[in-house]
């Protein structure tokens, strides 16, 4: 796997246990290389026919990353304020939605298309992340989507809510 991390031109598809697919250019992977090498001992790597790499990450690893992100983004404070909170960091980030002391997170990437500012991976939203994990009902997800669309319009953010991957 280490030899694949050095290749700067291939794409890496990372499939988390939750079904979230993260796509990184090799340039971005290089910045994360040291951490990735430490964490990758249990990853399952598959080279696809098109030359891209699919990496399956154990749920435990994904959960550790989520805890670190929640700490960094100060979710313990965010959960006290209902509404949307944008916590971006460079090329990607999360929009947190808080409702009645429950927090869910929506992953997004900055868009390379002038038509959109961000690409929201709304379809991967399946659960409330904090204070405890709980599956979102269809009504809760629909309500969150409606509120998100209104919030994006208020902030004048053009977003694709369901981008097609490659």
Whole-number Å distance between alpha carbons of 138 and 132: 18
Q: Sheet containing 53-56: which strands, arranged edge to edge?
A: 21-25, 11-15, 53-56, 44-47
pTM of the model: 0.67
Q: What is the DSSP letter of 123?
A: G
> Which of 121, 96, 162 is closest to 16 using CA atoms?
121
pLDDT per residue rounded down to tens, the chain (166 residues): 444 433 333 344 444 444 444 544 444 554 444 455 555 566 777 777 887 777 777 778 878 888 888 898 898 998 999 999 988 877 888 889 999 999 999 888 888 888 888 888 888 888 998 998 999 999 999 999 999 999 999 998 888 876 555 4
Report residue 5 as tokens. Answer: 């991390």
Beta strands 53-56; 11-15: pairing state? parallel
Give domain limits for the chain. Answer: 2-60, 73-160
Strands (E), the chain: 11-15, 21-25, 44-47, 53-56, 83-89, 92-99, 102-110, 118-120, 127-128, 134-135, 159-160
Q: How far apart are CA 161 and CA 121, in angstroms?
A: 6
2-60 CATH: 3.10.20
């Amino acid at each position: 796997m280490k030899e694949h991390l050095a290749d700067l031109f291939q794409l890496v598809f990372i499939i988390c246990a939750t079904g979230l697919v993260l796509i990184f250019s090799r340039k971005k992977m290089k910045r994360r290389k040291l951490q990735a090498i430490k964490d990758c001992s249990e990853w399952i790597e598959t080279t696809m026919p098109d030359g891209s790499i699919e990496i399956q990450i154990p749920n435990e690893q994904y959960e550790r990353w989520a805890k670190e992100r929640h700490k960094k983004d100060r979710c313990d404070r965010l959960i006290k304020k209902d509404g949307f909170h944008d916590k971006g960091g460079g090329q990607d980030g999360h929009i947190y939605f808080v409702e009645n002391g429950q927090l869910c997170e929506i992953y997004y990437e900055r868009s390379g298309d002038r038509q959109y500012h961000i690409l929201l991976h709304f379809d991967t939203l399946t659960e409330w992340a904090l204070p405890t994990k709980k599956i979102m009902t269809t009504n809760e997800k629909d309500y969150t989507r409606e509120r998100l669309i209104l919030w994006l319009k208020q902030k004048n953010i053009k977003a694709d809510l369901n981008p097609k991957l490659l």
